[in-house]
Structure 1
Amino acid sequence: MKTKLTLSVAIVLTGLLAVMLSFINKAEDPVDRIVAALQKWTDANPQEKVYLQTDKPYYLAGDTIWFKAYVTTGEKHQLSAISGALYVDLITEGDSLAKQLKLPITTGMAVGNFILDDDMLHEGNYRIRAYTQWMRNAGPEYFYDRTFSIGNSIANTVFAKIEYVYTKDGNKTKIKAILKYTDLKGRPLADKQVSYLLKKSWDVISSGGGKTDAAGELSINLPNNKPNELIQTYLTTKIAVTGAEVVAKNFPVKTASLQTDVQFFPEGGNLVAGIKSRIAFKATAPNGVGANITGSIVDNTGKEVAKIETRHLGMGYFVLTPEAGKTYSAEVTYPDGTSNTVKLLDIATDGYALSVFQTAKNDSVLVKVGASADALRSGNKNLSLVGQSNGKVYFSASVPVSNAFTLLYFPIKEIPSGIMQFTLFSADGQPLNERITFIQNRDDIKLNISSNKQTYTRREKVQLAVDAEDEAGAPVGGNFSISVVSETAVPSDEVNENSIFSQLLLSSDIKGYIEKPNYYFVNPNQETRENLDILMLTQGYRRFAWKNVLSGNTPAPYFTPEKLGTEIGGVIMGYNKKPVAYAKVAILNNKTGFFRDTVADQNGRFKFRRILFTEGAQFTIHGANARGKGRVIVKLNDYQRANVIANPNIGDINPDIPQQTKATIDNDIKQDQDLVKHGLISRVQQLKEVRIRAAKARVGTANIKENQADEVYRPDSRQPCSTLRECLEEMFHSRIRFTSVVSQDYGMLWIPTYQNQRYVVLIDSMRVTPEQYQDLLTDSVTNINKIYLVHESTAVQMKLLGMYAGQYRPPLPPVLAIYTKNGNFRYSKSDGTIDYSPKGYDLTRVFYSPKYDRPQDGPTPADLRSTVYWNPAVLTRTIGHANVSYFNSDQTGTYRVTIEGIDADGHLGRKTYRYSVQ
């Protein structure tokens, strides 16, 4: 449904004159106070945004994710100098943290990589989340947060997918999950025993099992007794392939709601009697994506006044002139043929409506302020209108309202692309209406990629020329990252991807899931702009609340910017638990010879600022009183990770990963077969499917695969438990139990047991005594990476115990293996001295690009890499030009080149280019 606004030239000129008069500043004009208050808030809260370009859209276990981060700030998206450290999290579909990187930010950019270890990560929907400590003040809704798939390795013998069937049962929706298992050739795995757990983070909601039918399928009726019970849940299943082999598979329960949810959004926020307004709607299916609906709007007499029809991704709008004294409802028909009635908002009789229209030339906007009859009868009102983007005010005007409609014209040609928020304020400065619109100017970097040939042969050298210009054709010096991927191995859809435009200009500014964000930028035209405006009508800009801004009381941000280098601090206390004033503190690293000392303040607090070190560095910190003597306690400030929130991108969860990654898996099979042919090690030996079976013991290794543990615990920041003991016993629902004993030397100790047997406790593969692990049990879990509990397999227990196994008589005791984040646990008894391994900067690998410019003797194995080339540092400099060269792999077909980046003025650029290899 399309609606056009027709305005005569005379009305436009009248509106323009009104705007010109309204820009006359008066000291008592409330618009000045509003602008000043926003400027004060922006100065105190400069926002940062993060975008990560990755080398490809999805991966296999065993791959490496290569990425470059762009950290921007301000209304022009310039590279940020606020923060010096970027945190990048790899999150599982159970919403637990699998890995975290800390990367140095230099000139607003950072580079890094995740190695997708097959013994830790398996097939599933994972997330990459990136943020700075400063960004935590805005909240996790504004972090970079992307969902992507990791497929099975080529050693996989079981492929599985999940489908959902939704049926109505009165007012409830019944949900049935259908699991389908096949082998590598697509043959169903029939008559196989399957057990499952339905989990929500760490909590088990239900369990069960059954056998697959002749089609390899198993149906599970999911419980639906409580509101939102199934949202953010997942199924963990185990299928018995043979008597000795059980394969684990995880499935997301892709449910954002229990039925199609329809919401209505009057433009500007209000429905006002007598004012013709656009009312947008958004229909979201239970799987989290837009649903196509139809229907009609009826008044309280049953008269149809408007039609409803989805226009784009479950969104659309209709036009309505509401009448005073009437109520309106939407009669909605869903895709499955069912229907429902949804009541619209109440009608205001005294109020204003705010509408925004972009002109056909896309060089200006028209803002229409409508006043109800009651509002006009109360006399002329001096309202205020403010238009801001990223905290900078571009338009501010007094709006004298004396007619039913007041029109204002604003040119937008010089405004940076992004979200513009228009807010209408009352005479006393209170927000009345709000509307966001998207400014899409031609201010991006015009990138051009050319190659010395359009068609190449395998392993032939490729020479690419990159040229960067602005709209006027002048050269642009920018910093770019470039990836080259074989589309034969990794087919992709650019519309479904994230991009530097969709993230920094759109997703980072508004809350809520955006389906196919790059659709609006890949090929911008009149249709995509119109659909983008509908998105603006259904999404809200909530970087700040006007109430907080206008109060003038801007609280200091809780998180301070973290500069390059790490701050280590804490407090020195006496054994009486009181701070030791002016205590002496020293920090050292014996391995590097690093040493610093300082004096605490009168409250015993101390800080060592800007210490630059890499991950795994171990420090010893020693404290003493002001005379350099005495027994003291060193208590350090804990590094607190940002909490992992539930996946906000339900619509991006892929329930059929094998189908998406099929081409990539087939490519890996070819690579593996070629390695076997040349007598080299097979990747099958490195990329093992998650198999739960007994492993042959190798005494002395003290190391096992994760799938060999009977229970695996990973800390979850959302668990309402304060100590590791509480997390393990109460939240994790483990079979571990803790008993208390009293030691003459150490007092009460907590001892972990399994069926009345004491666990042997290992910390980072070192056996420890009860008094040595008490601090870990009674402290928070901030320093815990993972815990393995082994009690069913003697072979696995022996392997985990390693060199300690020979000290025990059969049967071996259960083993509790704790792995800390630094991986180097040391227990110290010395008063005033502690060992500390803070989170350091992670080292980044360099992408290996083979050279085939020299002939090689004899046959060589095939080069079937899916990522052919990755370079995070392509500089066009002042001449606006850069050259890149590399060698093709043995893949044939189409290669896709993707380049993204930014210049010093915050202009963004993205370009894709393709060539073929025969």
Structure 2
Amino acid sequence: TARPDETYTAKITLPEELANEYKLPTVNKEGTILRLRTDHLSDSISVEVATSNNAVQMDSIYYLVGTSRGKAYYSSTINFDKPTLKISKNIFPTGIVRISLLKGKRPLNERSVFVDHKDELEVKLIANKPAYLKRDSITLELEIKGRSGLPVQGSFSVAVTDDAQVKPDSLGDYGIGASLLLSSDLKGKVENPGYYLHGDSPDRLQALDNLMLTQGWIGYDWKDVFAPAAPPKFLAEKELKITGQVTNISKKPVEGAQVLISSQKPSFINTVSTDYTGTFTFKDLPQIDSGSFFIQAKTAKGKTRYFGEVSVDRFHPAPILPTFRDQLMPWYVNSDQEQLNYVLQIAKKTKEEFFKPSGISLNEVKIVSKKIIKGTFNRNGPGKADLIFDEKDIKESAVMDLYQLIKQKLPGFRVVMEDGLPTLKYNNYMVTIEIDQGPLPVRLNPNPTAEQLIEELSQFKIAGFVGMEVMYSRKYMHNYSRPPSTISYTGTQIFESQNRVRTLAFESEDIDLDQNMFGDTSNSSSQLVNREGYQARRRKSSGVSKPFYIIPFKKLPSYLDERINVLTNSLREVAVIGITTSQRVGWHRINKPDVVTYRPLPLMKPQEFYSPKYLVNPSDVAEPDFRSTIFWEPNVVTDANGKATLRFHSADNPGKYSVSLEGTSTDGNIASKKIKLIVGDQSGKTSNGKVN
């Protein structure tokens, strides 16, 4: 028995005589104890509550609450004179059950157990042959029944993979049962979760209970449980509609305002009135894949009025963690044999001996042309960039602002704090943005943050963008950045350079450098002197005359330009994003509060996984078939008899295929099944050889 006057330490001895020590929590003299006992053969959970003499206050109410899957299934008050009770397992669904002891609304103790009703659906997957040939036709008959033996309707995913290229999930670690019933309801990573859910050996059941003790602690705050329910961040979208609000200069809602919506492709126009909260709603909208809607507010009599703001309820996606595409080590490090085989099969497809040529041989055709952005200000010339996105690409992105556009088109783009300054990065490159040969007028206060820079980039709507070019390779950066310098800067120079950008307010927008700072500059030589003089003044505190990035000719540098030219002794690789607008005059903020342009997310049709069908002589098909995933159907729906039929063809790799089924019935019961298919090494002779 632990004593309150002693301290306890857990010592873990690792291989090679390494040991770690962890101090255990201090033993309290007073408190409560919650002890649960459960047996997989028993139909109930035995609960025992123990308490010290002075731990319980007689004027307080103590509750015992049982929850599972985020829902309360059991609750009762505790009588400490009868500290032992039993709770029927039948009131809980299969999964993790948490029993909590509460004093009023404050939790005191909690213990988790796993309840298994053995209610997993019975699945039969029957192949039409004991073994198959290469490119052979395969048929699987699916039948699913419930625990009562009656047929079950539901939705199920079926995947077939080549064991030589995809490592089989033999333990079910990635199955729906391990995910929904175990991993998603526990803190931390669970190693081999499938082990805990299959079999009735005493060791497995004891290990499962130990897992509940170590990783089954609560994942939410009880204060949030008793607080009023918060509105969901993402509402169910049952129809295509646009909502928003009209407010006056005082930010108060405007009732009865006429709001007009229109689009050109397809042609559409409609008008609605705002309600007492200033809210307008447009329904029965046409389906568009890449277009936008023009929205304007007017008075009740249809006249133009200076409103405070017309806002649209826009879609805000869940945050995406920053990505970094540069690999830290070669892909083959720590690779398994299946992954190596997968890469080998891809390489085989490019070798001539695996092709069976037929028909007319055509000469090689090389596509060397690039997209051209009309009216581009690219310093290298039209089409001379590493990445080019034209107006069609921008419209099809279905995003609304510059930040979303760059995040979508440039995987690896992120906004980070570097040297205490918010910085745009594209993999290893530091990024600046030009718009119509001028700097992007980013407005930031002193001591800016990454969140503020993201918010500022989000203010630039892309409705007027006709092109975006990205330059980062040496081939295209010679007109944008200086070659690496051999100058070594002192710590004071670097600090002053960083601090100047950090404490400077960037508010100027589209100011002509020559006219606003140096007076009349009518000839090109004076322009050059003024520009170089300005750069020298800007870097006077650090004594530097050459930036990393060559600033556009007649424009005041923005925050991004200043940030990219902060001094450093490290190698700085620069990337430039060039934006071209339809007006070719740079960015200007539209100050029309009664007008807004909205581009909704497009409706996407479901994509179908491609699986070839060999209909004549499979050997007549020239291209080798080395698929790693042979077949995938994410939504197999069983009929009233609980049955469904699947058909596909094998590939060119002989060996074993793993068939994996995961899904749920309409009443929420889980189904999981795995079988093997055998494929021989001879080509199948079926009745037709073309590939669909």
Of 289, 301, 310 in structure 2, the residue corresponding to residue 627 of structure 1 is 301
Aligned to 2:26: 346
Whole-Å Cα distance in 2 between the matches of residues 438 and 341 of structure 1? 30
Whole-Å Cα distance in 2 between the matches of residues 792 and 471 of structure 1? 62
Whole-Å Cα distance in 2 between the matches of residues 578 and 384 of structure 1? 46
Counterpart check, 1:472 vs 2:234: no
Q: What is the SS of the residue equivalent to 1:734? A: strand
Asked whether the 8 Å contact 1:675–1:861 carries over to 2, the reply is no
Whole-Å Cα distance in 2 between the matches of residues 391 and 735 of structure 1? 44
Asked whether the 8 Å contact 2:356–2:620 carries over to 1, the reply is no
Q: What is the SS of the residue equivalent to 1:664? A: helix
TM-superposed CA distance for 1:895, in Å, is 0.8
Aligned to 1:875: 637
Whole-Å Cα distance in 2 between the matches of residues 631 and 397 of structure 1? 62
Counterpart check, 1:411 vs 2:88: yes
Q: What is the SS of the residue equivalent to 1:736? A: strand
Aligned to 1:515: 191
Q: 1:581 and 1:867, CA in 2 relative to 1: closer, same or farther beyond 3 A? A: same
Please tell me the residue identity of whatever aligns with 1:359: D
- Work out the number of aligned pairs and report it: 529
Aligned to 2:67: 388
Please tell me the residue identity of whatever aligns with 1:873: N
> Pairwise mapping of residues 509-548 of structure 1 onto structure 2 (< 5 A)?
509-521=185-197, 525-540=201-216, 542=218, 544-548=220-224
Asked whether the 8 Å contact 1:358–1:366 carries over to 2, the reply is yes
TM-superposed CA distance for 1:570, in Å, is 2.9
Counterpart check, 1:642 vs 2:318: yes
CA deviation string 1:670-716 (max 9, x = no partner): 2232597345999xx99xxxxxxxx97747484865599xx996697
Whole-Å Cα distance in 2 between the matches of residues 729 and 389 of structure 1? 44
Counterpart check, 1:461 vs 2:137: yes
Aligned to 1:402: 81
Of 577, 585, 589 in structure 2, the residue corresponding to residue 816 of structure 1 is 577
Q: What is the SS of the residue equivalent to 2:231? A: coil
> Pairwise mapping of residues 258-269 of structure 1 onto structure 2 (< 5 A)?
none
Counterpart check, 1:865 vs 2:640: no
> Pairwise mapping of residues 417-456 of structure 1 onto structure 2 (< 5 A)?
417-426=94-103, 428=104, 430-456=106-132
Aligned to 2:274: 600
Identity %: 26
Asked whether the 8 Å contact 2:291–2:599 carries over to 1, the reply is yes
Q: What is the SS of the residue equivalent to 1:616? A: coil
TM-superposed CA distance for 1:598, in Å, is 1.3
Q: What is the SS of the residue equivalent to 1:457? A: strand
TM-superposed CA distance for 1:611, in Å, is 5.1
Aligned to 1:672: 350
Whole-Å Cα distance in 1 between the matches of residues 199 and 610 of structure 2? 33
Q: 1:716 and 1:582, CA in 2 relative to 1: closer, same or farther beyond 3 A? A: farther
Of 38, 52, 63 in structure 2, the residue corresponding to residue 372 of structure 1 is 52
Return 5+ residue gaps in structure 2 as ranges. 324-329, 374-382, 390-406, 443-453, 480-549, 553-574, 681-692
Aligned to 2:238: 564
Whole-Å Cα distance in 1 between the matches of residues 216 and 331 of structure 2? 26
Q: What is the SS of the residue equivalent to 2:165? A: coil
Whole-Å Cα distance in 1 between the matches of residues 24 and 275 of structure 2? 61
Asked whether the 8 Å contact 1:447–1:909 carries over to 2, the reply is yes
Whole-Å Cα distance in 2 between the matches of residues 778 and 582 of structure 1? 34
TM-superposed CA distance for 1:668, in Å, is 1.3
Please tell me the residue identity of whatever aligns with 1:361: L
> C-alpha root-mean-square deviation of aligned residues, in Å?
4.9
> Pairwise mapping of residues 237-256 of structure 1 onto structure 2 (< 5 A)?
none
Whole-Å Cα distance in 2 between the matches of residues 713 and 698 of structure 1? 18
Whole-Å Cα distance in 1 between the matches of residues 312 and 117 of structure 2? 50
Whole-Å Cα distance in 1 between the matches of residues 281 and 296 of structure 2? 13
TM-score, with structure 2 as normaliser: 0.64
Whole-Å Cα distance in 1 between the matches of residues 650 and 625 of structure 2? 9
Whole-Å Cα distance in 2 between the matches of residues 644 and 859 of structure 1? 42
Aligned to 2:677: 915
Q: 1:646 and 1:698, CA in 2 relative to 1: closer, same or farther beyond 3 A? A: closer
Whole-Å Cα distance in 1 between the matches of residues 194 and 285 of structure 2? 40
TM-superposed CA distance for 1:448, in Å, is 1.5
Return 5+ residue gaps in structure 1 as ranges. 1-320, 648-652, 687-694, 742-748, 754-774, 799-810
Aligned to 2:598: 836
CA deviation string 1:569-596 (max 9, x = no partner): 3334678987654322222333234443
Whole-Å Cα distance in 1 between the matches of residues 668 and 641 of structure 2? 18
Asked whether the 8 Å contact 2:156–2:635 carries over to 1, the reply is yes
TM-superposed CA distance for 1:355, in Å, is 1.7
TM-superposed CA distance for 1:568, in Å, is 2.4
Whole-Å Cα distance in 2 between the matches of residues 677 and 360 of structure 1? 58
Please tell me the residue identity of whatever aligns with 1:411: S
Q: 1:735 and 1:351, CA in 2 relative to 1: closer, same or farther beyond 3 A? A: closer
Counterpart check, 1:736 vs 2:458: no
Whole-Å Cα distance in 1 between the matches of residues 433 and 591 of structure 2? 31
Q: 1:836 and 1:329, CA in 2 relative to 1: closer, same or farther beyond 3 A? A: same
Whole-Å Cα distance in 2 between the matches of residues 899 and 537 of structure 1? 31
Q: What is the SS of the residue equivalent to 2:297? A: strand
CA deviation string 1:227-286 (max 9, x = no partner): xxxxxxxxxxxxxxxxxxxxxxxxxxxxxxxxxxxxxxxxxxxxxxxxxxxxxxxxxxxx
Q: 1:867 and 1:581, CA in 2 relative to 1: closer, same or farther beyond 3 A? A: same
TM-superposed CA distance for 1:417, in Å, is 0.6
Counterpart check, 1:852 vs 2:617: no
Aligned to 2:166: 490
Asked whether the 8 Å contact 1:353–1:370 carries over to 2, the reply is yes
Whole-Å Cα distance in 1 between the matches of residues 675 and 5 of structure 2? 59
Larger strand proportion of the pair: 1
Counterpart check, 1:890 vs 2:652: yes
Please tell me the residue identity of whatever aligns with 2:339: T
> Pairwise mapping of residues 706-745 of structure 1 onto structure 2 (< 5 A)?
728=424, 734=430, 736=432
> Pairwise mapping of residues 326-337 of structure 1 onto structure 2 (< 5 A)?
326-337=6-17
Of 471, 482, 487 in structure 2, the residue corresponding to residue 790 of structure 1 is 471
Whole-Å Cα distance in 2 between the matches of residues 523 and 818 of structure 1? 61
CA deviation string 1:196-254 (max 9, x = no partner): xxxxxxxxxxxxxxxxxxxxxxxxxxxxxxxxxxxxxxxxxxxxxxxxxxxxxxxxxxx
Whole-Å Cα distance in 2 between the matches of residues 791 and 707 of structure 1? 12
Of 272, 280, 290 in structure 2, the residue corresponding to residue 616 of structure 1 is 290
Whole-Å Cα distance in 1 between the matches of residues 676 and 18 of structure 2? 45
CA deviation string 1:603-650 (max 9, x = no partner): 644233575746534323233333223255643334322223589xxx
Q: What is the SS of the residue equivalent to 2:341? A: helix
> Pairwise mapping of residues 571-582 of structure 1 onto structure 2 (< 5 A)?
571-572=245-246, 581-582=255-256
Q: Which protein is bigger by CA-based radius of gyration?
A: 2
Whole-Å Cα distance in 2 between the matches of residues 582 and 826 of structure 1? 34
Of 37, 61, 65 in structure 2, the residue corresponding to residue 357 of structure 1 is 37
Q: 1:391 and 1:845, CA in 2 relative to 1: closer, same or farther beyond 3 A? A: closer
Aligned to 1:241: none
If asked which structure has higher relative contact order (CA below 8 Å, sep 6+), I would say 2
Whole-Å Cα distance in 1 between the matches of residues 80 and 247 of structure 2? 65
Whole-Å Cα distance in 2 between the matches of residues 781 and 523 of structure 1? 58
TM-score, with structure 1 as normaliser: 0.50
Whole-Å Cα distance in 2 between the matches of residues 478 and 840 of structure 1? 29
Q: 1:595 and 1:776, CA in 2 relative to 1: closer, same or farther beyond 3 A? A: farther
Aligned to 1:203: none
Whole-Å Cα distance in 1 between the matches of residues 193 and 289 of structure 2? 35
Counterpart check, 1:481 vs 2:242: no
Q: 1:323 and 1:496, CA in 2 relative to 1: closer, same or farther beyond 3 A? A: same
Aligned to 1:591: 265
